[in-house]
Amino acid sequence: MSYVEMPGAKVPIRMWADPAAVEDVALRQLQNVATLPWIKGLAVMPDVHFGKGATVGSVIAMQGAVCPAAVGVDIGCGMSAVRTSLTENDLPGDLSRLRSKIEQAIPVGRGMHDDPVDPGGFHGLATAGWDDFWGRFDGIADEVKFRQERATKQMGTLGSGNHFVEVCVDTSGSVWLMLHSGSRNIGKELAEFHIGVAQKLPHNQGLVDRDLAVFVSDTPQMAAYRNDLFWAQEYAKYNRTLMMALLKDVVRKEFRKAKPTFEPEISAHHNYVAEERYDGMDLLVTRKGAIRAGSGEYGIIPGSMGTGSYIVKGLGNEKAFNSASHGAGRRMSRNAAKRRFSTKDLEEQTRGVECRKDSGVVDEIPGAYKSIEQVIDQQRDLVEVVAKLKQVVCVKG
């Protein structure tokens, strides 16, 4: 489908989704965003749903301003995927050992490594920039500096919620490794701190929603936020890089006889800010639950823990600010999913996948998400499908 245009106070709302299928609370959030004085454009992805301040699945282009809540509290959250030389014929019938080895190598939930992981200890992992990255820690907000030890030990960990590590098979039989995570607790704390700062600024007092508070250019508050934002985005990228190195290490050891090799990684943030130019204007584009899909750029659009995912290539649609959805998107809240579904439902909906099937992950059941096939179909003018993947192992946080 192409987009549907809805009127907004300052800019039209371009929706790659059926407005009738979007929750009323999410539609109100979109209308609220369209009232912001600094806004120059708003594109809505097919996985759109209610979020804090701004919806998940929205791309907001502003001039001279950034809304921290339109980035999300998991700054830099995103995906990484890599195709391996393994095929499904190399996989054992019982995948429980492989899942266990992954869980041992990559801490999940609130877990962290006992000692910081040395990136120099992995075959082929580029370590340029790591020292400079940690050297810039002293420049972030004083309120979170005491978290450095935890931040170093959480580097290379999964986290909780909808974060995951998967082993997948595509339609040609190739085995892929894929993971989804972000900037861990340090990114969340930086985001929450700066949202609190923004809400107290005088220019934000008349906004329709206090969660839409912004920082404006050429102010010390904007400079401080951008510094911490870009640092946290890097943290998230390094976190995924290290997790993928740990995951490859597990695969090398478990499939020693097959001597697996790995293609270049595909990586994409979906909670971040970028400086981009549209219609002759330099804009700050926030993607919250959306990926960049410039012409020829690879992206990853996952479904749920039982349905599969897509590797895509962007078509460079400037009406959507060169963007696409970040996944299937939730169709019900976590609490609603827990009320609606049981562990028996989870077992049925994840049949054939080696994964947790206990009450702790019922809120991540496939039935709580929109149809990934429909989401992909609604953005045929934003991306083209390169590969369809189906998970055989899923490690949830």
Averaged pLDDT for residues 104-128? 92
Q: Which of 49, 194, 269, 326 is catalytic?
A: 326
pTM: 0.95
Interval 24-65: pLDDT, tens: 999 999 999 999 999 999 999 999 999 999 999 999 999 999
162 is in an annotated binding site: yes
113 is in an annotated binding site: no
What's the whole-number average pLDDT of the chain?
Answer: 96
- 8 A C-beta contact, residue 349 and residue 365: yes
Interval 290-315: pLDDT, tens: 999 999 999 999 999 999 999 999 99
Averaged pLDDT for residues 143-166? 95
Catalytic residue status for 203: no
Topology classification of domain 4-331+369-396? tRNA-splicing ligase RtcB (3.90.1860)
Query: For 243, phi and psi rounded to 5 degrees?
Result: -65, -40
Long-range CB pairs of 143-150, under 8 A, 24+ apart, other chains included = 143/189, 143/193, 144/186, 144/189, 144/190, 144/193, 147/185, 147/186, 147/189, 150/112, 150/185, 150/186
Interval 66-103: pLDDT, tens: 999 999 999 999 999 999 999 999 999 999 999 999 99
20 is in an annotated binding site: no
Interval 199-228: pLDDT, tens: 999 999 999 999 999 999 999 999 999 999
- 65 has which bridge partners? 216
Interval 230-240: pLDDT, tens: 999 999 999 99
Note the pLDDT of residue 321. Answer: 98
**76-94 exposure pattern, b = at least 16 Cβ within 10 A, e = fewer:** bbbbbbbbbebeeeebeee
Residue 1 pLDDT > 70? no
The domain spans of the chain are: 4-331+369-396
Query: For 311, phi and psi rounded to 5 degrees?
Result: -95, 130
Nearest-CA neighbor of 273 among 189, 160, 191?
191
Please return the burial class of 267, using the count of CB atoms within 10 Å of its CB with bins 0-12, 13-18 and 19+: middle
328 is in an annotated binding site: yes
Interval 373-394: pLDDT, tens: 999 999 999 999 999 999 999 9
**What is the sign of the dihedral through the CA atoms of 252, 168, 78 and 338?**
negative
